[in-house]
Amino acid sequence: MAESFISLTDVRKVYRTRREEIEAIQNISIEVQAGELVSIVGPSGCGKSTLLKILAGLHPHDGGEVRIGSAAEPFDPSRDVGMVFQQPLLLKWRRILENVLLPAEILGLPMKQSRERARDLLAMVGLAGFETNYPYQLSGGMQQRAAIARALVHDPKLILMDEPFGALDALTREKMNLELMQIWRESRKTILFVTHGIQEAVFLGSHVAVMTARPARLAEYMTIDLPEKRDLAIKTQENFGEYTRRIYKLLDMD
């Protein structure tokens, strides 16, 4: 087997206050191959977002080992991570194309090539023709698609998505799931996707990391043996239901 792109070994995270230590993550070990879309599901406050912040280089870990990339291809979080949050966080005074270009500007990338890439990405996420619009002129789903294009514009090796569709209505959320699957197939980026939705986790993931309540432990790292190209009808299939029931049981929700 090829060397893992992400390797977490017994990773631990502790938050310290003046009165106590709060263990957020306890001995989590995961191996992620390049190009996989891994869903992370678990109860609220269990440490899912903390894990993403450790991978993004925003939080240190307090034990274990975190390795991303390889000696041949070193990983630089400031350059090689794209992040998508629950809210699009678009700058309201910048047009959509200018919002997408923001990481390229911060990193000092050549703007001519970056502008061409930004336009191509906006076309890929279905926003061709909206380049000069302001965020308020777009729906919530369209704004989130622009945020995904922004996360991809500097061609990062890793995309971290922290409940990116949590604020959307159910129908828009399902549409965004379909669009994310298409974006993943076209871009072949490694994606870690945090969600509370068990069905969403199974629908999107090539693997699902099921995390327990705090302190977060890995209940199971589950391979999802479903076709790579998925539509909503797959949710009616028996094997899809088996995966969701298994996760419910792991989370003591059955």
Q: Which fold has domain 1-75+157-178+187-254?
A: Rossmann fold (3.40.50)
Domain range summary for the chain, segments of one domain joined by +: 1-75+157-178+187-254, 88-156
Strand pairing of 207-211 and 218-223? antiparallel
Backbone phi, psi, residue 48, to 5°: -60, -50
**Residue type for 182, please?**
Q
Of 120, 113, 176, 111, the closest CA to residue 143 belongs to 176
Give the model confidence (pLDDT) of 187-196 as tens digits. Answer: 889 999 999 8
> Between the CA of residue 98 and those of 55, 78, 153, 169, what are the distances in Å?
27, 20, 11, 27
Residues 28, 69, 78, CA angle at the centre, nearest 5°?
A: 95
Of 187, 216, 185, 180, the closest CA to residue 201 belongs to 180
Of 20, 39, 77, 58, the closest CA to residue 215 belongs to 20
Q: Can you list the positions of beta strands (E) in the chain?
A: 6-16, 21-32, 37-41, 63-68, 81-84, 158-162, 190-195, 207-211, 218-223
Give the model confidence (pLDDT) of 141-171 as tens digits. Answer: 999 999 999 999 999 999 999 999 888 888 8
Give the model confidence (pLDDT) of 195-242 as tens digits. Answer: 989 999 999 999 999 999 888 899 999 999 999 899 999 999 999 999
Q: Can you list the positions of beta strands (E) in 199-252?
A: 207-211, 218-223
pLDDT recorded at residue 211: 93
The DSSP 8-state label assigned to residue 136 in this structure reads G
Give the model confidence (pLDDT) of 64-86 as tens digits. Answer: 999 998 767 788 888 999 999 98
Confidence bin at 254 (pLDDT 50/70/90): low
The model's pTM: 0.93
